[in-house]
């Protein structure tokens, strides 16, 4: 009897997880796309990365008893999948001559960084600093959420966050 | 710090320049649906792989040499007819138990002397043995982790005209899977029924299909939580019946079509059965009076 009851509980759990994922797509589809794209630099690849993440999530639904923060849980999968994809394809950084940069002077004059330039900057930023920059400064996740997504303590995230700001400045100077 | 802040905001701007293509939300939603369907199909395939009841051997015994004939009575045998109430005993029990898993398969034995029962009993025994062997294989594959395989049987109908036996195999492993197999014996004519035997020709298949789909629609209309793949599934899957479809004759002598869990609806709906009004079959039945009004 116990076995049958557990099976029912599991079925309902999986149903709930599926619903949560569907809801998350509706609310966070843009985050998913931009994060994936910032690694793949290609529309189809970005969608594939997202689809792979869905597949991994669906498999996990069968095994996991409880998901505390569904959004963080899924984005952990998405970020990891994106990183794996990036490593696999060792994407060529956008060819922007960093030597032309005059750092802040350039910014003062031009008031704009192009997307390609951003790509290049991010490519030169090592993980997990890169993820922290994207998640915190671009996508607006909280330190606590980032800690869950990247599987580190909040204090570690904070430390790395300040360090990553410095890294950025060095890249540009 | 202001330079950094300003420059961060520029980076932010650049980031947000990532163009969100038109209808990207729908596209991503579509990708999720694709994966969900793939996953569901994968699970269904696993379940079919775990099915132990083999309809084919039993059909082989009785359909071999049987020609499409318009008169069922032509199959009547010389041997005495089955008596009114037919006891079904447990013939053999195949069992194996260890801390995490269990196999328990009870083979029915029809306690009545007749040509038909001898053949049926022999078939049940053979299938029980086969099911037991397959269960042992599955245990090995799953490394004995929490599997329970149980085979039981149940008498559904036992009156002057019919004996209906249901053999049920339930496998509880990573998920739950139940398979039913019904045998309907026509006592008067001493024959085990098969769908083709009841009908003039293959035109009964679309008639049954339409009737069942009609009933599915009615059920959905009455209860919106009901889902049938063929009618309102996320991905439509056509209902396709074959001569080997699970069926039986009920107490009221009507035709009942029975689908196992997962066959025509999501798992939570369980087994699905449809009683076919004899009215609807009038044009395709070999013998219009064979089934009750």
Chain B residue at shortest CA distance from A55: B35
B34 touches chain A (CB under 8 A): yes
Q: What's the confidence (pLDDT) of residue A54?
A: 95
pLDDT given for residue B225 in this prediction: 84
Write down the mean pLDDT value for chain A.
Answer: 82
Max Cα–Cα distance, chain B, nearest Å: 104
Q: Biggest alpha carbon distance in chain A?
A: 74
Q: How far is CA B109 from the centre of its chain?
A: 23
Q: For residues B200 and B285, what is the distance between their CA atoms, to the nearest angstrom?
A: 6
pLDDT in tens, chain B (293 residues): 466 677 778 788 888 888 888 899 999 999 999 999 989 888 776 665 554 344 443 443 344 333 333 333 334 333 344 565 677 777 777 888 877 778 888 888 888 777 777 888 888 888 888 888 877 877 776 665 677 888 888 889 988 889 898 988 887 766 677 889 898 988 887 788 888 888 888 899 999 999 999 999 999 999 888 889 888 876 677 898 998 899 999 999 999 999 998 889 888 888 999 999 999 999 999 888 889 87
pLDDT for position A155: 93
Tell me if residue A51 falls in helix, strand or coil: helix
| The pLDDT value given to residue A115 | 75
> Angle formed by the axes of helices A70-89 and A43-63, to 10°?
130
The model's pLDDT over A25-57, given as tens digits with 9 standing for 90+, comes to 999 999 999 999 988 888 999 999 999 999 999
A129, A131, A154, A165 from A161: Cα distances, Å: 7, 10, 10, 6
What integer pLDDT is reported at residue B3 of this predicted model? 64
pLDDT at site B83 = 60
Contact between B116 and B185 (Cβ < 8 Å): yes
Query: How confident is the model at residue B54, as a pLDDT?
Result: 42
Please give the Cα distance from A114 to A116 (Å, whole number): 5
Q: Token digits for B271?
A: 């087994």
Tell me: the pLDDT tens digits for A67-76? Answer: 989 999 999 9
Q: Give pLDDT tens digits for A79-110.
A: 989 988 887 776 544 444 444 444 444 455 55
Distances B59 to A144, B123, B216, B245 between C-alpha atoms, Å: 63, 10, 29, 12
A165: closest CA of chain B, how far (Å): 8
- Minimal Cα–Cα distance from A118 to chain B, Å? 6
Q: Which of residues 126-165 of B touch A (CB under 8 A)?
A: 146, 148
Residue with tokens 């890294």: A167
Cβ <8 Å between A25 and B25:
yes
Give the full edge-to-edge strand order of the sheet including B255-259.
Answer: B247-249, B255-259, B272-276
> With contacts defined as CB-CB under 8 Å, which chain B residues touch A117?
14
Q: What is the pTM of this model?
A: 0.47
Which carries the bigger pLDDT value, residue A11 or residue B252?
B252
**ipTM score of complex:** 0.79
Identify the closest residue of chain B to A165 by CA–CA distance: B4
């Amino acid at each position: 009897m116990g076995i049958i009851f557990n099976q029912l509980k599991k079925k309902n759990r999986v149903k709930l997880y599926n619903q949560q994922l569907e809801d998350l797509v509706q609310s966070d589809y843009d985050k998913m796309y931009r994060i994936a794209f910032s690694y793949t630099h290609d529309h189809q690849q970005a969608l594939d990365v997202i689809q792979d993440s869905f597949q991994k999530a669906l498999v996990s639904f069968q095994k996991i008893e409880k998901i505390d923060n569904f959004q963080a849980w899924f984005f952990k999968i998405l970020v990891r999948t994106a990183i794996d994809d990036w490593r696999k394809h060792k994407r060529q950084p956008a060819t922007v001559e960093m030597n032309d940069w005059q750092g802040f002077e350039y910014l003062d004059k031009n008031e704009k960084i192009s997307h390609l330039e951003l790509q290049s900057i991010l490519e030169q930023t090592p993980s997990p600093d890169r993820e922290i920059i994207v998640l915190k400064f671009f996508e607006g996740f909280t330190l606590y959420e980032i800690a869950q997504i990247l599987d580190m303590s909040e204090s570690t995230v904070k430390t790395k966050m300040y360090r990553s700001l410095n890294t950025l400045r060095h890249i540009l100077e | 710090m202001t330079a950094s802040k300003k420059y961060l905001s520029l980076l932010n701007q650049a980031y947000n320049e990532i163009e969100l293509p038109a209808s990207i939300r729908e596209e991503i939603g579509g990708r999720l649906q694709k994966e969900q369907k793939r996953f569901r199909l994968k699970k269904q395939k696993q379940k079919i792989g775990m099915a132990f009841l083999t309809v084919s051997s039993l059909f082989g015994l009785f359909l071999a040499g049987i020609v499409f004939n318009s008169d069922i009575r032509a199959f009547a045998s010389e041997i005495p007819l089955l008596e009114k109430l037919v006891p079904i005993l447990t013939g053999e029990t195949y069992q194996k138990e260890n801390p995490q898993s269990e196999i328990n398969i009870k083979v029915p034995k029809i306690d009545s002397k007749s040509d038909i029962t001898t053949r049926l009993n022999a078939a049940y025994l053979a299938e029980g043995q086969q099911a037991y062997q397959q269960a042992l294989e599955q245990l090995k594959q799953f490394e004995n982790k929490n599997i329970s395989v149980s085979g039981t049987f149940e008498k559904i109908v036992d009156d002057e005209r019919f004996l209906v036996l249901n053999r049920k195999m339930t496998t509880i492993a990573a998920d739950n899977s139940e398979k039913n197999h019904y045998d309907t014996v026509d006592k008067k004519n001493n024959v085990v029924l098969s769908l083709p035997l009841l009908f003039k020709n293959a035109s009964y298949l679309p008639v049954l299909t339409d009737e069942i789909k009609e009933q599915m629609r009615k059920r959905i209309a009455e209860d919106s939580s009901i889902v049938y793949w063929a009618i309102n599934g996320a991905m439509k899957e056509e209902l396709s019946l074959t001569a080997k479809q699970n069926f039986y004759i009920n107490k009221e002598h009507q035709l009942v079509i029975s689908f196992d869990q997962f066959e025509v609806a999501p798992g939570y709906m369980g087994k699905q059965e449809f009683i076919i009004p004899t009215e609807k079959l009038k044009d395709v039945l070999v013998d219009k009076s064979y089934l009750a009004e």
